[in-house]
Chain A
Amino acid sequence: MNIEQEITQSTLRIVGDTSLTHEQAMMNLSKIPGQFVYGFLPPQGYGRLLNQGVLSDLGEGYAPICPRYILPDYDLFLKKGCSFLRIDPPKDLFEAIEALKMFYRHIPSITNFPVYLGRLDRMLEPFIRDEAEARRLIRHFMIFLDRTISDSYAHANIGPEATLAGEIILDCDYELQNATPSITLLYDPAITPDAFAARCARNDLACAKPSFANDAVYKNAYAGEYGIASCYNVLPVGGGAFTLARLNLKAAAEQAQSTEDLLERVLPEAVALNCAFMDEKIKFLIEKSLFFRSNFLAQEGFLHLDRFTGMFGVVGLAECVNHLETLEGRAGVLYGHSGAADSLAHRVMTRLTELVHAYQSPYCAVSGGHYSLHAQVGLDIDIGVSSGARIPIGDEIELYAHLRHAGQFHPYFHSGVGDIFPFEVTAKRNPESMVDLIKGAFSVGMRYFSAYASDADVIRITGYLVKKSDIEKLARGEAVQQDNVIWGLGEVQNSHILDRKVRSL
């Protein structure tokens, strides 16, 4: 098939697909040229590793028009307004919410929707005068977000302090049971009151959010403020990530003859190519693409070029280690189940960290001059590859051991990592018990904890949220408003998301 035929076929398939909304069809069409047009060239040798599945460009295309993840400085916006959009600084809650609604509409990302909505409680709290009015306005604001941002990568942050705005957001979210926005509590047991944390745990069980981020660790992630965006990505506010390019450790191990061969030949080549690939893409974004040269977000100081970095994504640590054990004649020695396998996993991650940190790039001063390791959640088309450093679904271990294991491996991934635990419905009677678990987990190194109860409709797929009822609709061929339900359906079919071990508590 030549390019013209491929474009024709892709276009007609999208235009005629009755399971897409108008917006989804438009966005899918917009992705087509990027698969054929090369605004920059990948480095020599990249194509080979791409074909082997060792590296992935995550479908960003070769002519990006904006950075992948953008975390605007919303505090500045609420203080100064925006001259390009002709928005004055808001004076009350109604105006603040209206201003944000307009502003969000103009925040792009890889999904074409904002992936970061700011520290919503802290942003709204100063405007609250009357609680009843605040409840009504915030409730409708949250409905607006779900119905217009058709994508649950949109992420609001709350905490670590308890606020009335935070409480109202939680109450509305509990009642509304929407998938969007995703929410994370920036949790520090020394700052966040137990009652507020328990309220968050109650919500987490009922609708899979908020997740809990280890604020005491993450607040030192970068100079200046950080935010949790998209799935669980830890990025600088006033910046973000230019791009995310990933290494599949399982596929890498399959190219190796032995552990030594992986560590000394396969990984060095893959890391060098993945980093060089990001360099080329970022150079194009900065020098050729319109965003940093003309977009008002950059021009009015809501974003700063020097607060962006690139994310080095990793998947399949578990399968990599299990494969290496087999190669070394120890088949059945499994990641998460054996101290020897876990030691090997540490060897792989230590070597990978060393290689990634040794590659100096001019585009990531904010993350120490090198790209930032990230536990990528996976793609809907991945089969038999676990997210980041997670223990595979179906292979889970006893809860406390699992949390300790996560605590050992989370610290490798500076720009985001997380584990997900479904619980029996009995846990809902005592959300404080989940807070106890999280406190323990954070004290042994865990960085990000998500949960949901086994009867919840809104669930966390790999990092993002989807309503199970929407997955069922889409599986019947009906269109659904939220676009990432399609990834959720793929994950359910290919990665057995609904088969995660349900923990009784």
Chain B
Amino acid sequence: MIAALVNRILPFSSVDGPGNRTVFFLQGCNFNCGYCHNPETIHVCNNCGACVSACPTGAIRLVEGKVTYQRSVCCACDACLRACPRDASPKVDVMQPEQALGILSGNLPFIRGITVSGGECTLQRDFVLALFRGAKHMGLGTLLDSNGNYDFEQDEELLPVCDGVMLDVKCADPDAHRTLTGQSNELVLKNLAFLASVGKLEEVRTVVVPGVLPNEDTVRQVCAGLAPYWAAGAPIGYKLIRFRPLGVREGFRSVPVPNDESMEHLRGIALQAGCANVSIL
């Protein structure tokens, strides 16, 4: 059984890797970041049914004790997400790799690749592996978007069919990381070094949250780790993402957006470390 819970499919995207790509967002994450801007993707539905009565169109129903979702009837009002007590979107499709590949082949020849994101897609690793194998068979590029809490080094099958990982490094300081995500960053930092060393690090992303995270320390540590690879010409990008209070949960709604000056300062650090491709979003 390698079906996955798919939260959303974007048939075309210009912001999830090089060129035009189809993006699969999988449901469920093993981090629980306070600033997550789509917290409804974190948990998996436990069929409590709280969303059923909130749904104005009948797209969500309880069938034999299970919450079911009919995309064609949905009006995208998100009332279900507001009603959910545990940040688990009911708007997911259970999908076999074959179905996902069928959708993907319908997007040929307009795309150069596929990106799998989340949630944390490595939680549904078998599905991702099957999807990537099929995508490679179609001649497509394969990128994976990860929070880094997965031991890529121990997986001998996944990286050979994955062109690269877009890795979130949220915080280099272990304690601050645990406070933000609820988990250790030991694996994340290991992956930063490991993926760079095997040429599978597509880019690193850090969300800059003023006053909450030691942003400069994180950027400096990422840069220190990647400087030798940049010096050797590895085209690893670094995306510095402004925190924005859109879609976030209660505790982060009053956190300010970082100003241009502080973002430029961080960009300067990455440029100085030799990164040729730093972008601010």
Which residues of A are interface residues toward B (Cβ below 8 A)? 398-400, 403, 426-427, 429-430, 432-437, 439-441, 443-444, 505
4 new A-B pairs (CB below 8 Å) besides A400-B107, A400-B110, A433-B21?
A399-B12, A434-B14, A444-B109, A505-B14
The answer to whether B11 and A436 have CB atoms under 8 Å apart is: no
The verdict on B184 contacting chain A, using a C-beta distance below 8 Å, is: no
The verdict on B138 contacting chain A, using a C-beta distance below 8 Å, is: no
The answer to whether A433 and B20 have CB atoms under 8 Å apart is: yes
The verdict on B220 contacting chain A, using a C-beta distance below 8 Å, is: no
In B63-78, which residues have CB < 8 Å from any A CB? none
A437 cross-chain contacts in B, Cβ below 8 A: 12, 20, 110
The verdict on B19 contacting chain A, using a C-beta distance below 8 Å, is: yes
As a 0/1 sequence over residues 1 to 14 of chain B, the CB contacts with chain A under 8 angstroms (1 = contact) are 00000000001111
A427 cross-chain contacts in B, Cβ below 8 A: 14
The answer to whether A436 and B13 have CB atoms under 8 Å apart is: no
Give Cα A440 to B108, complex, Å.
Answer: 7
The answer to whether A432 and B18 have CB atoms under 8 Å apart is: yes
In B137-176, which residues have CB < 8 Å from any A CB? none
In the complex, residue of chain A having the shortest beta-carbon distance to the beta carbon of B18: A432
As a 0/1 sequence over residues 88 to 132 of chain B, the CB contacts with chain A under 8 angstroms (1 = contact) are 000000000000000000111111100000000000000000000
Query: Which one of A399, A433, A435, A440 has the highest number of Cβ atoms from chain B below 10 Å of its Cβ?
Result: A433
The answer to whether B110 and A441 have CB atoms under 8 Å apart is: yes
* Cβ contact of B11, chosen from A398, A426, A432, cutoff 8 A: A398
B18 cross-chain contacts in A, Cβ below 8 A: 430, 432
The verdict on B198 contacting chain A, using a C-beta distance below 8 Å, is: no
* Cβ contact of B19, chosen from A399, A400, A436, A444, cutoff 8 A: A436
* CB-defined A-B contacts under 8 Å, sample of 6: A400-B110, A434-B20, A436-B20, A436-B112, A437-B20, A440-B109
Which residues of B are interface residues toward A (Cβ below 8 A)? 11-15, 18-21, 106-112
A444 cross-chain contacts in B, Cβ below 8 A: 109
The answer to whether A436 and B110 have CB atoms under 8 Å apart is: yes
The answer to whether A505 and B11 have CB atoms under 8 Å apart is: no
In the complex, residue of chain B having the shortest beta-carbon distance to the beta carbon of A194: B19
* Cβ contact of A505, chosen from B12, B107, B112, cutoff 8 A: B12
Give Cα A295 to B42, complex, Å.
Answer: 75
A430 cross-chain contacts in B, Cβ below 8 A: 14-15, 18-19
In the complex, residue of chain B having the shortest beta-carbon distance to the beta carbon of A442: B109
The answer to whether A440 and B19 have CB atoms under 8 Å apart is: no
A399 cross-chain contacts in B, Cβ below 8 A: 11-12, 110
The answer to whether B110 and A403 have CB atoms under 8 Å apart is: yes
* Cβ contact of B14, chosen from A400, A433, A443, cutoff 8 A: A433
Give Cα A97 to B15, complex, Å.
Answer: 41
CB distance from B21 to the nearest CB of A (A): 8
B109 cross-chain contacts in A, Cβ below 8 A: 439-440, 443-444
The answer to whether B15 and A440 have CB atoms under 8 Å apart is: no
In the complex, residue of chain B having the shortest beta-carbon distance to the beta carbon of A439: B109
Give Cα A306 to B108, complex, Å.
Answer: 42
CB distance from A405 to the nearest CB of B (A): 13
Give Cα A439 to B19, complex, Å.
Answer: 11
The answer to whether A426 and B14 have CB atoms under 8 Å apart is: yes
The answer to whether A505 and B13 have CB atoms under 8 Å apart is: yes
In the complex, residue of chain A having the shortest beta-carbon distance to the beta carbon of B17: A430
In the complex, residue of chain A having the shortest beta-carbon distance to the beta carbon of B113: A436
Give Cα A266 to B18, complex, Å.
Answer: 51
Give Cα A434 to B11, complex, Å.
Answer: 14
B14 cross-chain contacts in A, Cβ below 8 A: 426-427, 429-430, 433-434, 505
The answer to whether A440 and B13 have CB atoms under 8 Å apart is: no
* Cβ contact of A435, chosen from B13, B19, B21, cutoff 8 A: B19
Q: Contacts A432-B19, A433-B19 given: A440-B110 contact, CB under 8 Å? A: yes
Give Cα A308 to B12, complex, Å.
Answer: 42
The answer to whether A505 and B110 have CB atoms under 8 Å apart is: no
B13 cross-chain contacts in A, Cβ below 8 A: 433, 505
B12 cross-chain contacts in A, Cβ below 8 A: 399-400, 433, 437, 505
CB distance from B137 to the nearest CB of A (A): 18
Give Cα A440 to B12, complex, Å.
Answer: 12
Q: Contacts A436-B111, A440-B110 given: A426-B15 contact, CB under 8 Å? A: yes
Give Cα A400 to B13, complex, Å.
Answer: 12
Query: Which one of B11, B15, B21, B108 has the highest number of Cβ atoms from chain A below 10 Å of its Cβ?
Result: B15
The answer to whether A400 and B11 have CB atoms under 8 Å apart is: yes
A435 cross-chain contacts in B, Cβ below 8 A: 19
Query: Which one of A403, A429, A430, A432 has the highest number of Cβ atoms from chain B below 10 Å of its Cβ?
Result: A430
A441 cross-chain contacts in B, Cβ below 8 A: 110
A432 cross-chain contacts in B, Cβ below 8 A: 18-20
Give Cα A440 to B19, complex, Å.
Answer: 12
In the complex, residue of chain B having the shortest beta-carbon distance to the beta carbon of A430: B14
Give Cα A436 to B13, complex, Å.
Answer: 11
CB distance from A330 to the nearest CB of B (A): 23
B110 cross-chain contacts in A, Cβ below 8 A: 399-400, 403, 436-437, 440-441
Query: Which one of B13, B108, B109, B112 has the highest number of Cβ atoms from chain A below 10 Å of its Cβ?
Result: B109
Give Cα A434 to B111, complex, Å.
Answer: 10
B111 cross-chain contacts in A, Cβ below 8 A: 436, 440
Question: Which 10 residue pairs are nearest across A and B when measured between Cβ atoms?
Answer: A440-B110, A433-B14, A436-B20, A433-B20, A430-B14, A440-B109, A505-B14, A436-B19, A432-B19, A443-B109
A439 cross-chain contacts in B, Cβ below 8 A: 109
Give Cα A403 to B19, complex, Å.
Answer: 17
Give Cα A444 to B108, complex, Å.
Answer: 10
A398 cross-chain contacts in B, Cβ below 8 A: 11
In the complex, residue of chain A having the shortest beta-carbon distance to the beta carbon of B15: A426
In the complex, residue of chain A having the shortest beta-carbon distance to the beta carbon of B110: A440
Give Cα A403 to B20, complex, Å.
Answer: 14
CB distance from A410 to the nearest CB of B (A): 16
Give Cα A400 to B108, complex, Å.
Answer: 9
CB distance from A22 to the nearest CB of B (A): 46
A440 cross-chain contacts in B, Cβ below 8 A: 108-111
A426 cross-chain contacts in B, Cβ below 8 A: 14-15
In the complex, residue of chain B having the shortest beta-carbon distance to the beta carbon of A428: B14
Give Cα A403 to B106, complex, Å.
Answer: 13
Give Cα A430 to B107, complex, Å.
Answer: 19
In the complex, residue of chain B having the shortest beta-carbon distance to the beta carbon of A436: B20
Give Cα A443 to B110, complex, Å.
Answer: 9
Give Cα A407 to B16, complex, Å.
Answer: 27
In the complex, residue of chain B having the shortest beta-carbon distance to the beta carbon of A399: B12
B108 cross-chain contacts in A, Cβ below 8 A: 440
In the complex, residue of chain B having the shortest beta-carbon distance to the beta carbon of A404: B110
CB distance from B138 to the nearest CB of A (A): 13
Give Cα A398 to B103, complex, Å.
Answer: 14
In the complex, residue of chain A having the shortest beta-carbon distance to the beta carbon of B10: A504
CB distance from B266 to the nearest CB of A (A): 19
